[in-house]
Structure 1
Amino acid sequence: MYSSSLAEAPVVREPLHAPVAHLVRGGVVEGVHHGSVVVLDADGQVGFQLGDIEAAFYPRSALKPVQAVAMLRAGLPLDGELLSLAAASHSGEERHLAGTRRILELAGLTEDDLRNVPDLPYDPAVRDAWVRASRPASRLAQNCSGKHAAMLWTAKLNGWSLEDYLDPAHPLQQAIAEIVEDLTGQRVARVTVDGCGAPLFSISLHGLARALSRITAAVPGTPEARVADAMRTHAEMASGSGRDVAALIRAVPGLLAKDGFEGVQVAALPDGRAIAVKIADGANRARVPVAAAALARAGVDPALLTGFAGEPLLGGGEPVGGVRVVRALDPLPLPACA
């Protein structure tokens, strides 16, 4: 446990973001993405920072590995692909739906017990097929259903009420908040509601990186290590086929990575090195190349990251540019406006 030396909650303010990436078309900077980046060394010290890593922000789904650790600490008996699903922002593929049903069955519950918002599958191709089949939005298809099923089972195992398991005052959410503070090393600044209906805790980007560092560097057999092992081994269950976060885990040996809405990315290695990224405008097109550059800053072999430079920008169907991280971030900077 780390709670004996918790720092104060991060300050709620307008973050002092900095330029982190340029959208370059034909050698001209057409757009600028602002954001913040932190890189932690293996000893937990900040090795690189850009922008504002200490302001309060919402990590969105990038916090799910921490929530999964909290549920294991509260007695949730999951491992392997179902534990990965409990920490997932899944694509809504049939394996994700089947896995969520399995968690509910193990808990003696049904889809009707879920309180997340009904939605269509997250993956565009899966969603299109769903619509063509005239299937309605459902709680099971919503990308956080695995987490919600795991929350319900955790609550039932502890004799806690099920109908209000999303209330921030519920014992389950209080237990999760305690572990969020424990692993981030800081008090929570604010609590609001995430898109799925679950409580969302505001921390700093620095705290998010610190939490994932502690998860990946944990002693084998601990709840932290179990979550890291499950998500690395079953990366597609924590995301989906063709998702960039799963590809990143596969590309870098030992890496644990998790994305979140509004341009959030966190990743960490077994020795404790970690990175966290927040793109101010929430753009996914900048999230991946900026995260890849941060991982290179953390010492990951750039050759492993060549597939994560971002999609090319097309003009007339031909590549004419793309997203380029700023020189301050790129350990091997490209020529200006390349």
Structure 2
Amino acid sequence: MSDSRRTPDDTSALDEAPVLVHVTRGGLVESAHHGRIAALAADGAPALTRGDVEAPVYPRSTLKPVQALAMVRHGLDLAPHHLATVCASHSGEPRHLKAVTEILAGARLSVDDLRTTPSLPLGELPQAHWLVEGRRPEPIGHDCSGKHAGMLATCVVNGWSTEDYLDPEHPLQQAILAEVTSLVGPVGPISVDGCGAPLPAVPLVGMARAFAAIASAAAGTPERRVADAMRTHPEHVGGEGREVTDLMRRTPGLIAKDGAEATFVAAADDGRAVAVKISDGAPFARARTAVLATGLLRLGVHSEGTREHATSPVLGHGRPVGEVAVVGF
């Protein structure tokens, strides 16, 4: 169905998506996850598609590198590890919180200026330490606080107001929306992400194209600055034990970003790219990661990381009794 014929309550792209993942246990398929994948060759041609990849999705945090690119175009000038934190859904490790406060301090702002939803850290260990210290949910604890710090710093550079930086009509959000429209494709409904920032719906394949453009950009361009920041500081894009960080660490040239509701996008430095959306928004994150890694392997992006994450064991009493297996392509 073309975009012009879709309505907000049209769920056909989700309902009709093929099964992409089987979770087996003891020889029985215990769970099946439907989803969509858009994989592009280095020249931008479709290499592998399953499901309706033109249908709009909320890209959630996979949109952050595009949002960061808009900020860089509008004067945001940060050290690479700080820029990687702007692209991050960080785990709330000390280095992440330090980077957020440093970004804000560089703009003569503080954590009090953040408008992120008060949260505990995303990472289990950082969250445990936070609770032991008796801390309650705070704006800096949100995994998107790096993005928000970058947004605030961009406002300061341009002389824009900071109190209302999340307003969809704010010059910052309009600049980001223009970048999304230009790089990703036509924008559908605009909602609000979990962190409070405007969230446009976009075609899944558009996210693959956007990551391809960022990952393969020439030296000296704003796109290359974003890509290099993510590549050189994958620990700031996610955190220890996170699949997104591990994939980038062990796959030379790769940029990758995970997002809520089972979204994941990645691209190699020659423009090969994969975008994934699992229909049930599975909190079972290994489903989206397995599809993404398998898609990269099908494109010829071979590394220890892509091979390892293409499947994973299902444990029973601490030992393998099944696996997470990609099917359907």
The question of a shared fold, defined as TM-score above 0.5 by the shorter chain, is answered with yes
Q: Secondary structure at the match of 1:131?
A: helix
**1:237 paired residue number:** 236
Q: Secondary structure at the match of 2:227?
A: helix
> Is the Cα contact below 8 Å between 2:250 and 2:303 reproduced in 1?
no
**2:220 paired residue number:** 221
Cα 1:246–1:91 shift into 2, 3 Å: same
CA distance in 2, matches of 1:156, 1:103: 12
Structure 1 residue 275 and structure 2 residue 282: aligned?
no
**1:255 paired residue number:** 254
> Is the Cα contact below 8 Å between 1:10 and 1:188 reproduced in 2?
no
> Is the Cα contact below 8 Å between 1:10 and 1:189 reproduced in 2?
no
Cα 1:99–1:302 shift into 2, 3 Å: closer
Letter paired with 2:246: A
Letter paired with 1:202: A
> Is the Cα contact below 8 Å between 1:9 and 1:187 reproduced in 2?
no
Q: Which runs of 5+ in 2 are unaligned?
A: none
CA distance in 2, matches of 1:107, 1:89: 21
Structure 1 residue 141 and structure 2 residue 141: aligned?
yes
**2:300 paired residue number:** 299
Cα 1:29–1:238 shift into 2, 3 Å: same
Letter paired with 1:301: H
Letter paired with 1:137: P
**1:43 paired residue number:** 43
**1:103 paired residue number:** 103
**2:245 paired residue number:** 246
Deviation at 1:305, TM superposition (A): 2.4
Cα 1:69–1:9 shift into 2, 3 Å: farther
CA distance in 1, matches of 2:4, 2:224: 26
Q: Secondary structure at the match of 1:119?
A: coil
Q: Which runs of 5+ in 1 are unaligned?
A: 1-6, 330-338
Cα 1:145–1:302 shift into 2, 3 Å: closer
Deviation at 1:317, TM superposition (A): 3.0
Structure 1 residue 91 and structure 2 residue 106: aligned?
no
Aligned residue pair count = 321
Letter paired with 1:114: L
CA distance in 1, matches of 2:133, 2:79: 33
**1:53 paired residue number:** 53
CA distance in 2, matches of 1:291, 1:52: 16
Q: Secondary structure at the match of 1:237?
A: helix
**1:120 paired residue number:** 120
Q: Secondary structure at the match of 2:140?
A: coil
CA distance in 2, matches of 1:302, 1:179: 31
**2:152 paired residue number:** 152
> Is the Cα contact below 8 Å between 1:79 and 1:226 reproduced in 2?
no
> Is the Cα contact below 8 Å between 1:115 and 1:148 reproduced in 2?
yes
CA distance in 2, matches of 1:316, 1:87: 37
CA distance in 2, matches of 1:316, 1:272: 42
CA distance in 2, matches of 1:291, 1:253: 16
Deviation at 1:8, TM superposition (A): 6.9
Q: Secondary structure at the match of 1:31?
A: strand
% identical aligned pairs: 50
After TM superposition, the structure 1 stretch with the greater mean CA deviation from structure 2, 13-22 or 260-269, is 13-22
Deviation at 1:264, TM superposition (A): 0.6
After TM superposition, the structure 1 stretch with the greater mean CA deviation from structure 2, 310-319 or 187-196, is 310-319
CA distance in 1, matches of 2:124, 2:312: 17
CA distance in 2, matches of 1:79, 1:182: 26
Cα 1:307–1:10 shift into 2, 3 Å: farther
CA distance in 2, matches of 1:182, 1:189: 13
Deviation at 1:310, TM superposition (A): 4.1
**1:161 paired residue number:** 161
CA distance in 1, matches of 2:302, 2:137: 42
Name the TM-score, length of structure 2 as normaliser. 0.94
**2:324 paired residue number:** 323
Deviation at 1:318, TM superposition (A): 2.3
**Superposed CA offset, 1:61-102 (max 9, x none):** 000000000000011111310000111100001111110000
**1:332 paired residue number:** none
CA distance in 2, matches of 1:74, 1:316: 53
> Is the Cα contact below 8 Å between 1:37 and 1:53 reproduced in 2?
yes
Structure 1 residue 19 and structure 2 residue 19: aligned?
yes
Letter paired with 2:297: A
**Superposed CA offset, 1:201-220 (max 9, x none):** 10011000000000011111
Q: Secondary structure at the match of 1:218?
A: coil
> Is the Cα contact below 8 Å between 2:21 and 2:325 reproduced in 1?
yes
